[in-house]
Chains A and B, each alone.
Chain A
Amino acid sequence: MRKGKHQPLGPVSNILTVILLYIILIILVLVLARQILIDISRGEQLDNIYIIPLGIVLPVFLFGTVGLQMIKLIRDRRENRPGTRFKTKLMVFFFAISLLASLPQAILSLAFIDTALHSWYSADLGEALDGGVEIALAYNSQRVDNLVNLAESSLFYRLLNEADYRSLWETLQEANSAVDSLQIFRAFESLHFSGDPVLILDEPPETIAGNGIVPKEYLGSVTVQRVAREFRIEDGDSINVVFSSRFPDDFGISAEKLTQSRQSYRQIQEYKNIFRIILLIFFSYFSFPVFLLAILVSFLLSDELIRPIVSLEEATRRASEGDFSYRILGRSRDELSILTASFNRMMSELENSRRTTLQTEKVTAWQEIAQRLAHEIRNPLTPIKLSAQRILRRYEKDPSSIGEILDGAVSSIVREVENLDLLLQEFRDFARLPRSSRYPVKLSSLLDETGSRYPSVYPGISFDFSGVDRDIELPLDREQIGRVFTNLFKNAVEAMGSEGKITVRTDLVRKGNTRYCRVQVEDSGCGIATENQGEVFNPYFTTKSHGTGLGLPIVERIVFDHRGQIWFESAPGVGTTFFIDLPLEL
């Protein structure tokens, strides 16, 4: 008992392949994310150029694998391999599901990106940012100008010389409430401080412009603007006066954020098109391999799904060809495995039944042959017996005149014995037909060779081989098939008498998955009587006086041994055509 052939991948291998591919994909995505996205998000150049080919390898590998699977599927479909149509349907189904699942996600992601970009490009936002920066600058300028103007005012210089420092601060606060502290240094020594204690300095600050402006200080959330000015007082000493103004809390941080936002907004305006393209490329770069992997998985899954169905188809095809020994290996425990088990059981029962039938047929056939053989042997025995008795009687009554009948009686005995010998010879041929050994044979040369024997013996008979494909080669036992054509030509010649035409033609035909060469042998003879048409292939059936009735059974047997078929069409008075289908492959 033979089992179904092994497939390249089992279910476990398929699952392992899918898991392996998935793990590789995840690892590569992580590596790429680490090596590329981190660098890119920092705004740095890609130092590892070899990362890029690595990133291309995966999509190319997946694309190549999917492409190969597609080509294989198309090729199998063209060759009508079992299960390819069902596999194509499954593939279209899986592809549609993958597309339906990924398309909305892709559209959503792209729409999200586009919406986000659109909101960044909003003109209102740009104007608001510009306005915010201008307000901040105006506020800052006002506070700075206030301090500078105060430091440069003649009023302050007069107060500095006339009043003590405490009175000076009180007067200053009444005149200008925007000043939050006043500190006076002589060289690096602090002489006086009034105002908010947070703003006190250990030493005079470093100015960066001629008007005494000091860069802002950030003391936690407090932003301080100072103006330092050197004064020469009346006693000739030089003092350094520092005016400080405290900005609202977080003014500096807010101003910095505002400036950065405006800078970012300008950059987005400048690069919006390339930014959109790069985002799309990155999205495709990471999502396309996932889509390809889904397609690849669907190939593996469809293989797994159709395998039992393909096995069933193969088994039924073999059963239809008479091979009941084929069995299907079941791996799973699903409904299909129940079906295959039932099929295997059915095949076993069919095989047993056929064995019994064959045994019965064999016995019946031998009984029939024995009866027919006995009958055929008995037929010549009667004239032999009669001739012998006739010689004996004449010898007993009148031995001198025995010569008158001896020649005729002995000739009859010899003729009947020869007929008997011929009968036994053909019977032996029929019973012991050697096993056919097939090699590629050019059919046209075999027909030419067989047909060439007749014109010299039957000059009135013509052969027409013009419809024979001169190039066709078939796996044949040359001797046996030659015997087939000899028998058919002999029958045709005998059916036509002295004149007639035998036409031979070949065609290619397909039955199921097998291709055949169909050979037609047509004669213009008397045809086969309708009542005899059902018996021409039965052993010992003949309408000829000298025939044995084994010619066409031998022809049928040889064609059957070649896995071919033979049949005929005949019209009495018009002619007979025999059709032989011989397979193109072994």
Chain B
Amino acid sequence: MGLTLLSQEVSVDSVRRHGELFLLDCRILIDDTERLLSSLDEGETVMLGIRLREASAESTFLNPRAGYYEYQRKVSWDSVEGLYVIDEPEGRRRFFSHKDALLDAVQSFQDLPIMVPGGKHSFRLRGEIQWKILLPPLNILSPFLTSLRSAGEWKVIEFYRPKSKAGVKGE
């Protein structure tokens, strides 16, 4: 059980406004794709996620996840089909036979809807990977097996910038 965390940076492709919502396209830049593929080949399920947070949101004692949005997908090897499969949170399954196509699909998050409260001009974003999803009842070990998780730094995403160009800067 190590304490080393890998950095999972996120690149933002675009932020578009649609009425009350903002739609975000972004990608997780996975450092160690070999580790991802070897985990899948060993029959493990891997979780990749984007976590968004309102820039000014403060977590409280009773609501530690105030202002959070999470978009997570599970990736695994389907031994019956003999194919890689991505399970999206809405229940959609996508199969892949080629590793390159799988990695491209895994890293890309398209049209993530963000509801931003009035008066706010930015939010924060980071990518997270759980390299092995522990199944019940072993999932209580997840917080103690920190080597199974890695997360990038929070990045501030600003909108309403001059020339309507979505910008990214390190926090």
Question: What is A's interface to B at a CB cutoff of 8 Å?
Answer: 35, 37, 39-48, 50, 133, 136-137, 140, 208-209, 215-216, 252, 255, 259-260, 262-264, 266-268, 271, 274-275, 278, 282
Neighbour of A267 across the interface among B61, B135, B144, CB < 8 A? B135
In the bound complex, do residue B59 and residue A48 qualify as a contact, i.e. CB atoms below 8 Å apart?
Answer: yes
Q: Which residues of B contact A133 (CB under 8 A)?
A: 79
In the bound complex, do residue B79 and residue A41 qualify as a contact, i.e. CB atoms below 8 Å apart?
Answer: no
Neighbour of B83 across the interface among A37, A46, A215, CB < 8 A? A215
Q: How large is the interface on B (under 10, 10 to 19, 20 to 34, 35 or more residues)?
A: 20 to 34
State how many angstroms separate the Cβ of B16 from the closest Cβ of chain A: 28
Q: Given that A43-B130, A278-B144 are contacting pairs, would A48 and B61 also be in contact in the complex, using a CB cutoff of 8 Å?
A: yes
State how many angstroms separate the Cβ of A520 from the closest Cβ of chain B: 73
State how many angstroms separate the Cβ of A27 from the closest Cβ of chain B: 13
Number of A-B contacts (CB under 8 A): 81
Chain B: CB-nearest residue to A260: B135
Q: When chains A and B are docked, how far (Å) is the Cα of A275 from the Cα of B81?
A: 32
Q: When chains A and B are docked, how far (Å) is the Cα of A482 from the Cα of B160?
A: 101
In the bound complex, do residue A208 and residue B64 qualify as a contact, i.e. CB atoms below 8 Å apart?
Answer: no
Not counting A45-B142, A282-B140, a sample of 20 additional A-B residue pairs whose C-beta atoms are within 8 angstroms of each other reads A37-B140, A40-B139, A40-B140, A40-B142, A42-B139, A43-B134, A43-B142, A44-B142, A46-B143, A47-B59, A47-B64, A137-B79, A208-B97, A215-B81, A263-B43, A263-B45, A263-B135, A267-B138, A274-B141, A275-B141
Q: Given that A266-B43, A275-B141, A278-B141 are contacting pairs, would A45 and B65 also be in contact in the complex, using a CB cutoff of 8 Å?
A: no
State how many angstroms separate the Cβ of A131 from the closest Cβ of chain B: 14
> Residue B22 at the A interface, CB < 8 A?
no
In the bound complex, do residue A215 and residue B95 qualify as a contact, i.e. CB atoms below 8 Å apart?
Answer: yes
State how many angstroms separate the Cβ of A349 from the closest Cβ of chain B: 64
* Binary A-proximity of B42-83 (CB < 8 A = 1, otherwise 0): 011100000000000001010011000000000000011101
B129-149 contacts to A (CB < 8 Å):
130, 132-136, 138-145, 149
Q: Which residues of B contact A260 (CB under 8 A)?
A: 135
Q: Which residues of A contact B143 (CB under 8 A)?
A: 39-40, 43-46
* Binary A-proximity of B15-45 (CB < 8 A = 1, otherwise 0): 0000000000000000000000000000111
Neighbour of A255 across the interface among B80, B96, B139, B140, CB < 8 A? B80
The 8 closest A-B pairs by CB, nearest first: A43-B142, A43-B139, A264-B135, A215-B95, A40-B140, A48-B64, A47-B64, A267-B138
